[in-house]
Amino acid sequence: MADETTTHVSTTADMWTARRRTFLRMTVHWIGSDLQRRTACLAVWRVIGSHTQDVIAVPIDKDVDADEDFVYIDIGDIFEKYSKECEVQQATASESSDDENIAPKHTKRIKIPKNIRCSCHLLNLIATTDINNINNVAFKRMKKRIDAKLQKIWNKQSRSSLSASDHIKDKMGFLFVLYNATRWNSFYDAVQCVSELFLHFTIAPLTKDEEEFLLEYVRIMEPFTQALDVLQNEEKMSLGCVLPTIKLLQERMEEFSNDSSIVHCESLVMAIISGLHSRFGDMFKNLHMRLASVSDPNFKTIWADDSEKEQLVTLLKSTVRRHKAFNLNPVSGNQWR
């Protein structure tokens, strides 16, 4: 990184837990002189204490300029809540500033850049929280019954003697990716071909309705997992990929909602559509994300509605003109603000 000069970078923040310890990492990304992506790790910190906004904001505040446009962040709702708290405090302070009888309370508040939520994290929330919150009784009862049967097979693989694992691999050619709550897509991977194993392990086989449910579930979740694979790509993923990928997923789910062959998983389709709208709706209004997508040669305006395309082209042209003017007559400050 020291050998290159660049004026525009993207920073990301990610937090994870391993061996009962929590870590926070900041990375920086930029385009090199050969138009290839460069990535470097800025720092890794050990996070000690509760995962509260003020604790996590301290290392980010040290390593990120508060005047940057935004940080792409994957630590849940923490900074969204933190920003709201700061706004409330600022509003309260301004209202009470005229009262000379009230002594101001000095509390250190850390100013951090605007952040964009991690799209993969949002998809995971849809696939776990939103789906688990489905209120349709028939859907929940059916899924719970199937989960119990499948769990018995997964238990055989993970807890029984080697002969059970050997039989599973002999029949299927591979072992299951065992399901756990934080890796919801392992459920999708594991339910695709299991019917042959029920008889061998003397587990009650799936009924016809349960088999239909699983076929529908796999069919619906396939484009969902494909979207996640695109957004998790380390080499080719960019901010411009997010809106086209989510738009395509929304269109696919809309097709499922009008598909008469979907009988048991209608609630699943509607939960995903609702989750995509509520969790990604604001991103389609975000200036940076819209420009990133329309300026990507792979997408241009194919992801946008016909009514939006002309507006996006105008937006891109005006942005290019503004950049040219700024480069000819640079001034202090951020031209995006």
**pLDDT tens by residue, 62-121:** 655 555 555 555 554 555 555 555 555 555 555 444 444 444 444 455 555 667 788 988
Are 89 and 134 in a shared domain? Answer: no
CB atoms within 10 A of CB 116: 20
Domain-embedded: residue 3: no
Q: What is the pLDDT at residue 73?
A: 54
3-state helix, strand, coil in the chain (%, to 5): 55, 10, 35
Are 89 and 128 in a shared domain? Answer: no
| CA gap 271, 127 in Å, rounded | 9
Where does a domain end: 102, 117, 132? 117
Long-range contacts: 53-60, Cβ < 8 Å, 24+? 53/78, 53/79, 53/81, 53/82, 53/85, 54/82, 54/110, 56/15, 56/24, 57/82, 57/110, 57/112, 58/110, 59/24, 59/26, 60/13, 60/24, 60/26, 60/112
Tell me which residues of the chain have a pLDDT lower than 70. 1-4, 53-54, 57-114, 158-162, 171-197, 199-200, 330-337
Residues 143-171: b if buried by 16+ CB within 10 A, e if exposed = bebbeebbeebbebbeeeeeebeebbeee
Q: What is the pLDDT at residue 260?
A: 93
Are 221 and 145 in a shared domain? Answer: yes
Taking alpha carbons only, the member of 251, 315, 320 closest to residue 286 is 315
Domain-embedded: residue 111: yes
Q: What is the pLDDT at residue 336?
A: 45
Strands 10-18 and 21-31: antiparallel
For the chain, where are the E strands, in sequence order? 10-18, 21-31, 37-47, 70-74, 114-117
Are 61 and 88 in a shared domain? Answer: yes
Q: What is the pLDDT at residue 4?
A: 63
Count of domains observed in the chain: 2
| Amino acid symbol at 87 | E
Secondary structure (3-state) at 32: coil
Are 126 and 95 in a shared domain? Answer: no
Structure-block tokens of residue 221: 């979740």
Taking alpha carbons only, the member of 127, 22, 20, 112 closest to residue 73 is 112
Domain-embedded: residue 243: yes
Where does a domain end: 86, 117, 148? 117
3-state SS of 258-307?
CCCCCCCCHHHHHHHHHHHHHHHHHHHHCHHHHHHHHCCCCCCCCCCCHH
Are 132 and 241 in a shared domain? Answer: yes
Are 254 and 278 in a shared domain? Answer: yes
Q: What is the pLDDT at residue 261?
A: 93
**If you search the block for the tokens 């050990």, which residue do you land on?**
46
Are 32 and 104 in a shared domain? Answer: yes
For residue 239, what is the DSSP state?
G
Domain-embedded: residue 318: no
Burial class (CB in 10 A: 0-12, 13-18, 19+), 194: buried
Domain-embedded: residue 321: no
Are 70 and 193 in a shared domain? Answer: no
**CB-hemisphere CA count at 13 Å for 17?**
8
pTM value surpassing 0.75 = no
Where does a domain end: 117, 147, 167? 117
Are 65 and 166 in a shared domain? Answer: no
Query: 255: domain range?
Result: 120-284
Structure-block tokens of residue 6: 């660049």
Q: What is the pLDDT at residue 194?
A: 63
Are 93 and 160 in a shared domain? Answer: no
Domain-embedded: residue 145: yes
Domain-embedded: residue 328: no
Q: What is the pLDDT at residue 111?
A: 57
Domain-embedded: residue 259: yes
Are 155 and 245 in a shared domain? Answer: yes
